[in-house]
Amino acid sequence: MERITYPTDVSDREWEILKILMPSIPEVGRPREAPWREIVNGIFYITRAGCAWRLLPHDFPKWCTVYYYFRLWRKMGV
């Protein structure tokens, strides 16, 4: 079942530009549970909606996963 789309979701054209900037899959360690595109969509949803992280709709990845990458990329200056 596909999730509903939100106005804040990246378009296919935008994703083609962004996906080349995403880190590659590491050879060791636990694999990532959520796709990059869904993590980015979650971050865009939160920043546009201005709601609390825990209020991220359930059809996105877990709020703590989205928050982890938001915080990591923010600290890195991305």
Per-residue pLDDT of the chain (78 residues; tens, 9 = 90+): 678 899 999 999 999 999 999 888 777 888 888 999 999 999 999 999 999 999 999 999 999 999 999 999 999 998
- pLDDT for position 32: 81
3-class DSSP assignment, residue 14: helix
CA-based torsion, 56, 5, 68, 30: positive or negative: positive
Q: Model's pTM, two decimal places?
A: 0.88
In this structure, how many other beta carbons lie within 10 angstroms of the beta carbon of residue 62?
13
